[in-house]
Amino acid sequence: MAGYQLKLKRKQQVAEGTLALYFDKPDDFSFKAGQCVRLGLVDPPETDGEGSGRILSLASTPTEPELMVATRIRDSAFKRVLNTLTSGAELTLKGPYGDFTLPADPSRELVFITGGIGITPVRSMLLQAIAENQADTRADENKGRKMTLFYANRRPEDAAFLDELAQACATDPFCTLVATMSQADQSVQHWQGERGYVDEAMLGRHLTDVTKPLYYLDGPPGMVAAMKIMLVDAGVAEDRLRTEEFAGY
């Protein structure tokens, strides 16, 4: 697998406790929306038993000029060092890896169910699919991939890329964003969307046929396992489920 040297261009807080890092894309680097890379620190001042690198999903799309990853800032050696990096800091990149990617069939209806930092590969896939829809509908206004994103967080302040994804879906008649908050009453923002956790009743309010789509489930392992059980119990065939777990580090 190819290795690359990167320099940090900039950082941006994209939600409370969530940091996005941006890099120039190497000329010969390509990837599929939804894939991940191994990002490595160079001569970090501290490290831990897992070493100086971590696997992170690429939140940018293949057509965007920059590479972007986003991560929750936790109290680990890797995250502490990452949080202190300034523009020009050198890192290494290996990859891409993974098959948590869009299906080849452009007619497949997709449902994404994610929470928290699990939004990173979903941002890449959803924005890529919207761009493909827009290209298709220019040729045929009735042609486009139907997509629904269920995005669960505690509060709007915790939801990375929420406004961006809402605006993107608003431009695509085939895209629906269903954001839900489990602790909306603890937010300083007025929340008018769904509340609580993603469950079968919520799916039924927004999907015509729960058993039809291809599902992408990612986020904390407990959430992924619960969603898989819920969907299978609702009659969704297991071969319609794509999963990826995000453990904390």
Average pLDDT estimate for 127-134: 94
Question: E strands of 16-141, at which residues?
Answer: 18-24, 36-41, 53-57, 66-72, 90-97, 110-115
Tokens representing 21?
């890092």
Do 155 and 17 touch, CB atoms closer than 8 A?
no
Tokens representing 37?
């890379």
Tell me what pLDDT residue 143 has. 76
Q: Who wins on pLDDT, 104 or 143?
A: 104
How is the beta sheet containing 66-72 ordered, strand by strand?
Answer: 53-57, 36-41, 90-97, 3-15, 18-24, 66-72
Tell me what pLDDT residue 49 has. 86
- Candidate from 1-5, 126-130, 187-191 with smallest mean pLDDT: 1-5
Judged against a pLDDT cut of 90, whether residue 26 lies above it is answered with yes
Q: How confident is the model at residue 249 (pLDDT cuts 50, 70, 90)?
A: very low
Q: How do residues 29-53 score in pLDDT, each as one tens digit?
A: 999 999 999 999 999 999 988 889 9
Tell me what pLDDT residue 1 has. 63
Average pLDDT estimate for 146-175: 97
Q: How do residues 177-230 score in pLDDT, each as one tens digit?
A: 999 999 999 999 999 999 999 999 999 999 999 999 999 999 989 999 999 999
Q: How confident is the model at residue 136 (pLDDT cuts 50, 70, 90)?
A: confident
pTM of the entire structure? 0.94
Q: Average per-residue pLDDT in the chain?
A: 94
Amino acid at residue number 185: D
Q: How do residues 58-85 score in pLDDT, each as one tens digit?
A: 999 999 999 999 999 988 999 999 999 9
Tell me what pLDDT residue 207 has. 97
Domains annotated for the chain, with CATH where assigned, are: 3-97 (2.40.30.10), 110-245 (3.40.50.80)
